[in-house]
Chains A and B, each alone.
Chain A
């Protein structure tokens, strides 16, 4: 039982991770990050259910709150990036190149 939830969670997480690594559009990267967060939430809820405690629920609620806050910030950053270069390709923003 629990394995199914965990497998789903891992698959979602890996999809998100692949999205972050391979995609170049800032929005897609951002959405992939959300996907990874929700994969983690799924694992929390599954374990919470398994152990019959509320800890996982609390953490999941917390993650959702943080994700919402982060979304507000990240979107603002995206707007600024767009203003700066008129592009939303992450490869454009490589000032830290050594």
Chain B
């Protein structure tokens, strides 16, 4: 039984309309006197807030329905119909997408409000918010899509907006290169997604190409095809959600303004890959091999990113690698078929990572765009609100009970242990310890100890309320979101997992309490060891070390960028050069050149007839007329 409601379409429409209005306003006024920032700010925040209200309406509507009827659909119009392929511009709200909607719109709105403060005085204020609204709108299309094709629209939309926003400060070449890198790497992933989608259509698309029909027909896929589809779709997820080997764009994406980083890392973009795998849980659940690949890629990405994170000195890069690492956890979760655990980690991660990024933004704002943690220190007294909220975010990221990150991460690790993926669990615990270490390394260096740059420290001051209030709201979420999915051992009943159950193919293994206790205790132990090490090393007045040996290797990210450059970029460039030098002039252009050459030669030949003397033209006329008369006299008889 499906319920059709029109207002589903309004959810993505609100920010998209906002983007249109803001974009046009900016376009028509950017040459003259700029409009007041308050107008742009208000217009920009209205769309996301309205979407949030609609998301709440959707949530409560679904809550009012019996669990197995929790589907709201809205087919706005038929987009195209070719042969068996019939694609509606359709939206589907089920427990999974409604949960995504809630936090995407909430966190998106908070980031918009924060940006009004952070971007104050920027010359392209209107343009920034137009992009930001478009970004959110694309993400909402992606989340609400009723089928893979509509999802792909949002998928490409967020890719485009990430490009626009990463290279927002486009006067510096580095930023533009970072934007290009994000776009190109995402393109590789998108190719995987398109191939996977095509293969899926080829296999079972004839019976309807939306999630509900696909789910009903999933048994008809041959096992090998199913695995291929899963892996191709996962390539897409790797691009969007920054997994090995396509994670390289995310740390460079720090070139954009800090609220953009928060939006990319928390609410939009990178969560899309995890969401997509969870959306196709019916597919992944029946192909365990593909799931195992996903899980291992995820957990190895988590490990690699954690190693990189330990040696970075740019506060935003540390957070970027922590995101890559946490995304790795999420993929490990959805890979081992603990979909609700993975999605729950997406949910809590959105709060604490948005919080940490916006907090980092406050620090950067207070220090006038200083991002090097070795030039900070002792900011605790100067930025008390930022310190307190970031501390909460850090505890949540590091997985300290009872902060939200602990419950969601523990759920994933416990599921790994319970389903017999001991290897994944071990790596996961190791990464948990490393996470605590690098998170608190950052916190200690930024907020504790003595100021390393006395002048900047003296001028630092708490940012305005428009920036601190969103931080406090997010801190509240980071602190308490975990209680929504309290496992049985703490007296809860996994409410979020139960909520998500109708739209996922999820199963909770029943194992002994001791195993669960083991998982929890090792997580806490890993956290404790990590934070202790960080405190011992960076708690008091550490100075910037000279990176040597492994640390240097880690600081340079194992030279992966250089490797990619040497293995892919340079040969590709050389290949392009070869084509432009040989193939193009001698193969493709040669026909065109031949025809122009022929015309020129023929013209030269006929030129001799044009002598320019009237008499000669008279002779031509006489000859012509004589021939014509002769011809006529021959034919008339």
A pairs with B: yes
Beyond A17-B622, A21-B622, whether A94 also contacts B615 by CB under 8 A is no
B80 within 8 A of A: no
| B610 with A96: CB separation less than 8 A | yes
Contact residues of A between 76 and 92, Cβ < 8 Å to B: 90-91
A51 within 8 A of B: no
Beyond A17-B622, A21-B619, A21-B622, whether A98 also contacts B607 by CB under 8 A is yes
Q: How far is the CB of B626 from chain A (nearest CB, A)?
A: 10
Contact residues of B between 573 and 619, Cβ < 8 Å to A: 606-615, 618-619
Q: How far is the CB of A20 from chain B (nearest CB, A)?
A: 5
Contacts of B607 in A (CB 8 A): 98
| A20 with B611: CB separation less than 8 A | no
| A98 with B610: CB separation less than 8 A | yes
Contact residues of A between 1 and 27, Cβ < 8 Å to B: 17, 20-22, 24
A95 within 8 A of B: yes
Q: How far is the CB of B171 from chain A (nearest CB, A)?
A: 55
Number of contacting residues on A, CB 8 A?
14
Q: How far is the CB of A81 from chain B (nearest CB, A)?
A: 11
Contacts of A17 in B (CB 8 A): 618, 622
Q: Which of A29, A93, A98 has the most CB of B within 10 A?
A: A98
| B612 with A95: CB separation less than 8 A | yes
Partner of B615, one of A22, A95, A96, A98: A22
| B622 with A94: CB separation less than 8 A | no
Q: How far is the CB of B617 from chain A (nearest CB, A)?
A: 8
Residue of B at shortest CB range from A17?
B622
Contacts of A96 in B (CB 8 A): 610, 612
Q: How far is the CA of A17 from the CA of B612 in the complex (A)?
A: 19
Contact residues of B between 67 and 123, Cβ < 8 Å to A: none
Residue of B at shortest CB range from A26?
B614
Contacts of A24 in B (CB 8 A): 615
Contacts of B614 in A (CB 8 A): 29, 90, 93
Beyond A98-B607, A98-B608, whether A91 also contacts B613 by CB under 8 A is yes
Q: How far is the CB of A63 from chain B (nearest CB, A)?
A: 17
Residue of B at shortest CB range from A22?
B615
Contact residues of A between 44 and 75, Cβ < 8 Å to B: none
Residue of B at shortest CB range from A90?
B614
Contacts of A21 in B (CB 8 A): 615, 618-619, 622
Residue of A at shortest CB range from B617?
A96
| B609 with A98: CB separation less than 8 A | yes
Number of contacting residues on B, CB 8 A?
13
Q: How far is the CA of A24 from the CA of B618 in the complex (A)?
A: 12
Q: How far is the CB of A31 from chain B (nearest CB, A)?
A: 14
Beyond A17-B622, A21-B622, whether A97 also contacts B615 by CB under 8 A is no
Q: How far is the CB of B193 from chain A (nearest CB, A)?
A: 61
Contacts of B613 in A (CB 8 A): 90-91, 94
Contacts of A95 in B (CB 8 A): 612
| A98 with B612: CB separation less than 8 A | yes
Contacts of B609 in A (CB 8 A): 98
Q: How far is the CB of A16 from chain B (nearest CB, A)?
A: 11
Q: How far is the CB of B120 from chain A (nearest CB, A)?
A: 70
Q: How far is the CB of B339 from chain A (nearest CB, A)?
A: 80
Q: How far is the CB of A77 from chain B (nearest CB, A)?
A: 12
| B622 with A97: CB separation less than 8 A | no
| A20 with B610: CB separation less than 8 A | no
Contacts of B615 in A (CB 8 A): 20-22, 24, 29, 90
Q: How far is the CA of A95 from the CA of B609 in the complex (A)?
A: 14
Contacts of B610 in A (CB 8 A): 96-98
Contacts of A93 in B (CB 8 A): 614
Q: How far is the CA of A22 from the CA of B616 in the complex (A)?
A: 9
Contacts of A22 in B (CB 8 A): 615
Q: How far is the CA of A22 from the CA of B615 in the complex (A)?
A: 7
| A94 with B611: CB separation less than 8 A | yes
Q: How far is the CB of A17 from chain B (nearest CB, A)?
A: 6
Contacts of A29 in B (CB 8 A): 614-615
Q: How far is the CA of A61 from the CA of B80 in the complex (A)?
A: 74
Q: How far is the CA of A20 from the CA of B607 in the complex (A)?
A: 23
Q: How far is the CA of A91 from the CA of B611 in the complex (A)?
A: 10
Q: How far is the CA of A97 from the CA of B617 in the complex (A)?
A: 11
| A94 with B619: CB separation less than 8 A | no
Q: Which of B609, B612, B614 has the most CB of A within 10 A?
A: B614
Q: How far is the CA of A96 from the CA of B609 in the complex (A)?
A: 11
| A97 with B611: CB separation less than 8 A | yes
Contacts of B612 in A (CB 8 A): 94-98
| B618 with A20: CB separation less than 8 A | yes
Q: How far is the CA of A90 from the CA of B607 in the complex (A)?
A: 20
Q: How far is the CB of B529 from chain A (nearest CB, A)?
A: 92
Q: How far is the CB of B36 from chain A (nearest CB, A)?
A: 67
Contacts of B619 in A (CB 8 A): 21
Q: How far is the CA of A21 from the CA of B611 in the complex (A)?
A: 14
Residue of A at shortest CB range from B616?
A21
Q: How far is the CA of A23 from the CA of B239 in the complex (A)?
A: 85
Q: How far is the CB of A88 from chain B (nearest CB, A)?
A: 12
Q: How far is the CB of B531 from chain A (nearest CB, A)?
A: 91
Q: Which of B606, B611, B613 has the most CB of A within 10 A?
A: B613
Contacts of B611 in A (CB 8 A): 94, 97-98
Residue of B at shortest CB range from A93?
B614
Contacts of B618 in A (CB 8 A): 17, 20-21
5 contacts between A and B (CB under 8 A): A20-B618, A21-B619, A21-B622, A91-B613, A96-B610
Q: Please give the residue numbers on chain B whose beta carbons come within 8 Å of chain A beta carbons, in ascending order.
A: 606-615, 618-619, 622
Closest 7 CB pairs of A and B: A97-B612, A98-B610, A94-B612, A98-B607, A96-B612, A20-B618, A90-B614
Given contacts A21-B618, A98-B612, 15 further A-B contacts (CB under 8 A): A24-B615, A29-B614, A29-B615, A90-B613, A90-B614, A94-B611, A94-B612, A95-B612, A96-B612, A97-B610, A97-B611, A97-B612, A98-B606, A98-B608, A98-B610
Q: Please give the residue numbers on chain A whose beta carbons come within 8 Å of chain B beta carbons, in ascending order.
A: 17, 20-22, 24, 29, 90-91, 93-98
